[in-house]
A = this chain, B = another copy of it.
């Protein structure tokens, strides 16, 4: 049973996916076989993952790959079938149609994203772009969620460096909240709220962490957790997947710097990042500005915080940014 269900009060969708819990009844975190000492993402174990949807080769002749994208063995959603929307009395549900893929960032078990050379980081970003562009052709999908869970406390069940993507027939709540908010801002000011934030932060520099030609990394004004960090394109851009090669290289450089700064400042913390992207085929191009949100895990998020939507953060973003600016990498 895989189903999308809507909470009738708030309109929030959840995936109910027994497949994800198969290996451990109450733990959804199992992405693939985890056997003592065995890693299905490592070079040589390719037959333990489903056939790849994308492979980059170091040397196509020898078959030496540098990155593979494979369907998740315990997917949260299923790719086959048509998208059925159904009433269930007063409730609403949808068939659990979607794609769930794992981006295996390297054949090498030991190297983490933050420690890769920048051209490898660029490869990872390029794989996100390639997969989004491919999956966007499937008209059942409205959104492609790209994210990385690094470390057990961040929800990763594999230590081998990887990211994930989920293609969805709905738009995740945080993104639709951002779209509603930025559309509202646009209606009042005829300006992009993200562009306004960038202008402010580049000017007073209190919350600016670092910048390069195309991107800036900032501590947001109202961060939910200590050292929350956003990376934004400095010029208005709606969709991540429209990023050109030059900009992608620039993003790889800045992402790498930010991850290394967080590692140096917080002793290699677990972290999550998410690409907040415009929905597929989104037409109000002035009203959304894609960006990456990075959340290092330095405190437990108390259940009360995600249950209330109300966050208590002991670290002012000005101090976090100053610390990250000064830290040596």
Contacts and interface: CB of A to CB of B under 8 A. Distances in A.
A303 interface: yes
For the residues of A in contact with B, the DSSP-based class is mixed
A304 B274 contact: yes
Interface range on chain A: under 10, 10 to 19, 20 to 34, or 35 or more?
A: 35 or more
A14 B306 CA distance: 12
A149 to B, nearest CB: 5
A174 B185 CA distance: 22
A308 B28 contact: no
Contacts of A9: 177-178, 181-182, 185, 193-194, 197
Contacts of A53: none
Interface in A279-329: 293, 295, 297-317
Contacts of A307: 147, 174, 272, 274, 293, 295
A90 B198 CA distance: 11
Interface of A: 1, 5-21, 25-29, 76, 88-91, 145, 147, 149, 152-155, 164, 168, 172-175, 177-178, 180-182, 185, 193-194, 196-197, 200, 204, 220-224, 226, 266, 271-272, 274, 293, 295, 297-317
Given A8-B197, A28-B313, 16 more contacts: A6-B222, A8-B181, A14-B312, A17-B312, A18-B315, A26-B266, A90-B197, A149-B304, A153-B300, A154-B302, A155-B302, A155-B305, A177-B309, A272-B304, A272-B307, A295-B303
